[in-house]
Amino acid sequence: MFELLTVRIFAAIVLLDCFHVSVGCAQDAKDNPQEKADKAEAIQPLQYVAPKQIEMLIGVRLSPADLNMVSTIVTTVFPAEWPEQKVEVVEVSVPPAFQHGFRDLPGGNKQLLLQAAVLPARSTVEATIKVRVEKSQIVGPTETDQFVRPKRPGRDVKNYLGNSPFIEATSTEVKKIVREIDAKEPETEWKRIEMLYDWVRDKIVYTRGDLKSVKQAIKDKTGDCEEMTSTFVALCRAADVPARCVWIPGHCYPEFYLEDAEGNGYWFPCQAAGTRNFGSMPDHLPILQKGDRFKVPEDKDLLRYLNDFVKSEERYPLGAAKPKVEFIRTLLGDAAKLPPPDQGAEKR
């Protein structure tokens, strides 16, 4: 009996000690937010924070002039869902003459599709959709040594390794710059890409102007957000790192793709023109499209953008007035007052 009582007391002491250890560990974790943050980053290196809602009107306004418009098809880019972006349709203002729908495209992009059998001459028809976009800022990783180039990229990722319209990733000029960076023996893949990024920001002088190719931008050493973004994308691709353009109203910026030690892939954003942000993105403007190499049924060529498109079957005789077409992509409310994201880029 005494031995049994001793065993029970010993077991109770052990359980009590375990309880104290558990409580202590839990309390330590609670009192150590940095440890919790480190564990969270180990799970997800990209953090999506400070979401903001922005409303936007998307659509088209058509005036058929002197002739009916017959079998009309209209397409325009439409915001899609991304890890940092949620999209909600809040109002559809499409007249009975139109049928509307959405076309999902490879790479996660989307188009608004409008079709009309007949649009009467000398009328004005407007079809719009109001969307509410919740866009989060992106905070990049603090520990970057683990990230490497993808060893076996999937088909969607491979699409961002070759040439695109105005982006000559396989050109001699682009490959030469990559060799110069590699000769400096960067310690990690992350540092290597950051050196390519800094080359663009140091060598390409921000200058507004007409769109030109990466080869021309490197030759001129000038360009705006499009040329600076395209040049960084080309350099990444020449370095076997997938990269793509991201388009927001009035601006674009690049993303590059790396994998962690477990083979999980991530798209990291950066700001080529404007305030320096590498691996993070503080912008709240809606994303219109990601990518720079598109194929759609309405065009036989590869496209840099998801172009606005209108097609009707009628032919206009000599001297006849042609329809007026106005695509609508309007930020509403306070968002309409936001400055361009690359404002002040000349002073970076």
* Helix residue ranges per DSSP H, the chain: 2-31, 33-43, 155-158, 172-182, 189-203, 214-220, 225-238
Global pTM reads: 0.84
How many separate domains does the chain show?
A: 2
> 256 with 165, same domain?
yes
Cα gap 189→179, rounded to integer Å: 14
Q: What CATH number should be reported for the domain holding residue 180?
A: 3.10.620.30
Q: Is residue 327 part of a domain?
A: yes
Read off the pLDDT band of 313 (50, 70, 90): confident
Q: Is residue 275 part of a domain?
A: yes
Q: Is residue 3 part of a domain?
A: no
Tell me the pLDDT tens digit for each residue of 240-290.
999 999 999 999 999 999 999 999 999 999 999 999 999 999 999 999 999
Q: What CATH number should be reported for the domain holding residue 116?
A: 2.60.40
Angle formed at CA 31 by CA 28 and CA 35, multiple of 5 degrees: 75
Q: Which residues, 6 or more positions from 136, have their beta carbon under 8 angstroms from its beta carbon?
A: 48, 49, 50, 51, 52, 84, 85
Quote the domain boundaries for residue 303.
47-136+295-337
The answer to whether 184 and 195 have CB atoms below 8 angstroms apart is yes
Residue 283 is given by DSSP the state -
The predicted structure's pLDDT at residue 340: 62
Cα gap 144→297, rounded to integer Å: 41
The predicted structure's pLDDT at residue 24: 42
> 300 with 324, same domain?
yes
Tell me the pLDDT tens digit for each residue of 159-203.
999 999 999 999 999 999 999 999 999 999 999 999 999 999 999
> 146 with 85, same domain?
no
Residue owning tokens 């994201």: 341
Tokens at 92, concatenated: 């559809």
Cα gap 160→145, rounded to integer Å: 23
Tokens at 57, concatenated: 């009107």
Cα gap 336→338, rounded to integer Å: 6
Read off the pLDDT band of 314 (50, 70, 90): confident
> 271 with 182, same domain?
yes
> 212 with 313, same domain?
no
